[in-house]
Amino acid sequence: MTRTALFRPLNLGPCSLSHRVVMAPLTRMRASRPGNIPNALNAEYYGQRATQGGLIICEASQICPEGQGVPASPGIHSPEQVAGWRLVTDAIHAKGGTAFLQLWHVGRISHPSHQPGRRPPVAPSAIAAQGMAMTAQFQREPFPTPHALTGEEIARLLGSYEQAASNARDAGFDGVEIHSANGYLLEQFLQSRSNQRTDEYGGSIENRCRLPLEAARAVASVWGANRVGIRLSPFGIANDSGEAEPMPLYSHLIGELDKLGLAYLHLIEPRASGAGQKEVDHKDAPSACELFRPMWHSTLVTAGNFKGDEAEATVAKGAADAIAFGRYFISNPDLPERLRLGAELTPYNRATFYGGGAEGYTDYPTLPRR
Q: Residue 233's pLDDT is what? A: 96
Helix axes of 79-94 and 40-49: crossing angle, nearest 10 degrees: 30
Q: Residue 369's pLDDT is what? A: 80
| 179: nearest Cα among 102, 245, 109, 246 | 102
Residue 71: how many CB atoms within 10 A of its CB? 20
Model confidence, pTM? 0.96
98-104 and 122-123 as β-strands: parallel, antiparallel, unpaired?
A: unpaired
Report the distance separating Cα 148 and Cα 125, nearest Å: 4
Q: Residue 69's pLDDT is what? A: 98
| pLDDT for 275 beyond 50 | no
Q: Which residue has the higher pLDDT, 370 or 6?
A: 6
- Alpha helices of the chain — where are they, by DSSP H? 40-49, 79-94, 151-170, 185-190, 205-208, 210-223, 246-258, 288-292, 308-316, 327-331, 335-341
Q: Is 184 a catalytic residue?
A: yes
**Where are the extended beta strands (E) located within the chain?**
10-12, 15-17, 21-23, 55-62, 98-104, 122-123, 132-134, 140-142, 147-148, 175-179, 228-232, 264-268, 299-303, 322-325
Mean pLDDT of 24-33: 98
Q: Could you give the domains of the chain?
A: 5-352 (3.20.20.70)
Contact criterion met (CB below 8 Å) for 1 and 340 = no
Q: Give whole-number Cα distances, 128 to 13, 124, 157, in Å.
A: 39, 11, 20
Percent of the chain past pLDDT 90, that is, above it, reads 94
The predicted-structure confidence for 315-358, as pLDDT tens digits, reads as follows 999 999 999 999 999 999 999 999 999 999 999 999 999 999 99
Beta bridge partners of 179: 231
Q: For residue 319, count CB atoms less than 10 angstroms from its CB and return exposed for 0-12, middle for 13-18, buried for 19 or more.
A: middle
> Out of 184, 201, 250, 354, which one is annotated catalytic?
184
The predicted-structure confidence for 175-193, as pLDDT tens digits, reads as follows 999 999 999 999 999 999 9
322-325 and 299-303 as β-strands: parallel, antiparallel, unpaired?
A: parallel
Report the distance separating Cα 260 and Cα 216, nearest Å: 8
228-232 and 122-123 as β-strands: parallel, antiparallel, unpaired?
A: unpaired
